[in-house]
Structure 1
Amino acid sequence: MPDGYLLTTTSQNVGWHRTIEHRCSSTPHRHGEHVVVWPEVGSATITVEGQLWPLTLGEGAWLPAGTSHSTNGESSTVLCCTHIQPLAWEGDVGEPHIVTVNAALREMLLHLARTGMPRDRRLRAQRVCLETIADEARPVVTLPVPRDPRIRTVAESIMADPSDDRSLEEWAWRTSTSARTIARAFRAETGMTFTQWRTRVRMVNAVELLGAGKPVGVVARRVGYATISAFSAAFSRTMGRPPRHYQATRD
């Protein structure tokens, strides 16, 4: 954090950020400041305390100082991280949650990051940014990542290919493990059934693809749905919003 600043914004776009070593990265890490992670355009996913969080344009992940997180290094979406001095934040810190990062706030944060200006003017603009961040604890749709070695291979395979439609019994045969053991492990590790967890994987991947500008029909097929209607219904049930909400358009 530069001396005298209340906040500063870094980006995966190395073309304009001048202190590359302080960017958020795909390796789990923590910051001494509060951080708001938000997509500059489109949608993306990040990992927060071992869980995947999907983010769409207009949303940011509020991460109190010391929260373990990482960005998706393979994402085509540019992610920005706004670092906030703890003493500059007057609201409740709370737990990690989703906040609003609207178009006006995004443009101001990017302008501050890219443009030099007198110190007093910068401080006034930074205070406006802090007041604009909507500290509303919106629901977070997360994806718990199993660590149990009995189901790690299954989980990693499904995350690599969300369209994989093999049944619990087929995975049991492939891994030489009983279907009951796999089912119990998924419930214990994720709080969801195997089918519920696989659906969640598909939806989180769908957020990435929609944010990258892929058509809904293409996204539906890539995550294992034969029809757009079936995909849209499952997506809306899981995410609470239709797929079009996550498509790569500016608000």
Structure 2
Amino acid sequence: MTTPLAAAVPRTAVRFLGHATHHHDSPHLVHLVRGAAEVVADGQRHALAAGETLWLATGVPHSVQTTPGAIVFGPMITREPPRRVRALGHRPELAELMLTAVAASPRATEIVPFREAIDRLLAGIDRPRFSLERPSHPVAREIADRLLAGGRWTLGATLPELAERHLSSVRQIQRWFGDETGQAFARWRTRARLNLALAELAGGAPPARAARAAGYATRDGLLRALARETGRPYADIARDPLGTSGEPAVGC
């Protein structure tokens, strides 16, 4: 694609030429239809190959730099990701839907069915593997929400550290989680971390990176936690961690 032709239709020129840093007032996908591109989102660099997608939360600053011949598509959606930047990797159903939307090139008055279809797919992609009830007490719920969103601030903290940060006590937090979720805090947190790791793996992340994203120091630590939680042999988990079915997720 030559530059003059890429810019011939101003409304779609960014699909070929990329764009400087900006943000949107709604959630947003950055999908690479073909070629290669680099996206800088929230200050982090993400290399995209054809068919791969980034899911950005409302307000995330991002820029896109494309290679010659690349085509990128960035539809606005309504569903927020579980964290500010969610790498989805290559999802065949999503890639097919993105290609259909690019070919149809709907205008603002025609976009609703495409947006609804994208939202339905995204809802299935990040469905947790392990069920987790959220506690109702405000302090416990804030801790739970931080755990569900990921981030080292909570994932790497000990229970006494969390209690101190929230002006509470270890016993209170344990009681809130036990009474209101039916699970001990330690198991609730393990399941939250495993859900984060499995979502990263489903997005194409290697096990070592998925482990770090979920607060595990090593790939082996993640796989052993999966084996304990599922009761499956470690060798099976190591061979196919995404074969972990967990259980029907409810209450999130």
Please say whether Structure 1 and Structure 2 have the same fold, judged by a TM-score greater than 0.5: no
TM-score (norm 1): 0.42
Larger RCO: Structure 1 or Structure 2 (Cα < 8 Å, ≥ 6 residues apart)? 1
